Structure 1
Amino acid sequence: MCENCNVAEMEKKFKDENVDLNLIAPVVEKYGKKKGSLINILQEIQEVYGYLPLSAMKYVADKTDNKKATIYGVATFYTQFRLNPIGKYLILQCQGTACHVNGSKEISKVLCEELKIKPGETTEDGMFTIEDVACLGCCSLAPVIMINGEAYGNLTPASAVKVIKDIRAKEEGAA
C-alpha cells in the first residue's frame, strides 16, 4: 500500500455521518491488532452500518495500528466495500451474459429512469440504491434483478417498473 498517499484526498471519497462507534468496538476488539484481519474487520463494519463510514475507519486505524492510508486503500480497492450509505432497498442488476442477451440493458434503463438515478447511486429519499453486478447466478430467470436478497426474474421493462412501484406502494402504506 502507498505510504505517501495524501490522506486528506483519500478521505474525500468517503461519506461520514454521525455513527455510534460503540457498535463496532466488539468487532475491533475481537480481531485486535492481529495481522491479516483488516478485510474481516471492514466486512463486519460494513455489515453494521451498510457502508464504511470515515469515522469508523479512523477508529480502526487508532485501535489496530494500521495506517489510515492502508485502510482507505483496502476499502477503495475491493469492490465489495461501499463508501457511501445505501438505500433501504438495494437493487442488484445482473449484467451477466444470459441477462444481457435477454434484455438487461433495457431493464436497467427503465429502472434508472423510474428512480431518477444511475447505477451506483441512491435515490434522494434514501429508499433505493442500484448497482450493476456481473452475475447473480440466476441465469434461468434472465433477465433478473435482486432486491434485498429476493430475485425477480423473467423481467420485461414494464414488470421491472411494477416491482419498484409495488415496493413504493407498500412503503407508503406502512407509513
Structure 2
Amino acid sequence: MDEAISHYPADRRRSAALPLLHLWQEHFGFISDEGVNWIANKLHLQPINILELVTFYPMFRQQSAGKTHIRVCRTLSCAMAGSYRLMENLSAAAGIDRKIDNNGMHNPISVSADGNYSIEFVECLASCGTA
C-alpha cells in the first residue's frame, strides 16, 4: 500500500484512493468498513471520502463474493442480446434469489446460501462483439 501511495505527491495523496481500494479488494475480496477507515486514515481523509468511491464505482464490493463469482454485462449490446434473461437463468441455476429492492445500493452482489456462487451485473466487459 505504501508503494502505491509513494507514486503520488504528498499534496495529492487523495489520488491514491482508487489504487488502494483495488489493492484492498484484491487482497481481502471486498471493501469492509475496516478497509474504508484504514484507507481514509492512511490518506489523511475522512472515511466518507472513501465510502463515496466505494458506493459510486460498481467494481467495488462491500460484501464477500462466493467461491465462484459470475459477472454479467448489462450495457446496451449485451442487454439487447439477452443479458437480463441470462442473469435470471444463472441466478436460478445457482440457487440465488436476486433482490428487487437493493436498499440503495446501485449494484448489489448476490451470494448463494452455501457461499459457492455469487453473481452481479457489471458494466462493459469489452466483449461486445460476442454479445
Range of TM-score over shorter length: 0.7 to 0.9
2:20 corresponds to 1:41: yes
Aligned residues: 115
Q: Which runs of 5+ in 1 are unaligned?
A: 1-26, 143-175
Rounded Cα–Cα distance in structure 2 between residues aligned with 1:66 and 1:130:
32
> Is 1:69 aligned to 2:40, yes or no?
no
Question: Which is bigger in relative contact order (C-alpha 8 A, separation at least 6)?
Answer: 2
Give per-residue Cα distances to partners, 1:34-61, cap 9 Å, x unaligned.
3421121111111111111211222223
**Aligned residues with identical type, % of pairs:** 26
Task: Look up the match of 2:104.
Answer: none
Shift of 1:123: 1.0
**Aligned Cα RMSD in Å?**
2.2
Q: 1:125 and 2:125 equivalent?
A: no
Aligned match of 2:125: 136
Question: Are 1:100 and 2:89 an aligned pair?
Answer: no
Look at both structures and tell me which one has the larger radius of gyration over its CA atoms.
Answer: 1
Q: Which moved more, 1:105-114 or 1:92-101?
A: 92-101
C-alpha deviation, 1:134, in angstroms:
3.4
Alignment-mate amino acid for residue 51 of structure 2: Y
User: What's the TM-score once normalised by structure 2's chain length?
Assistant: 0.73
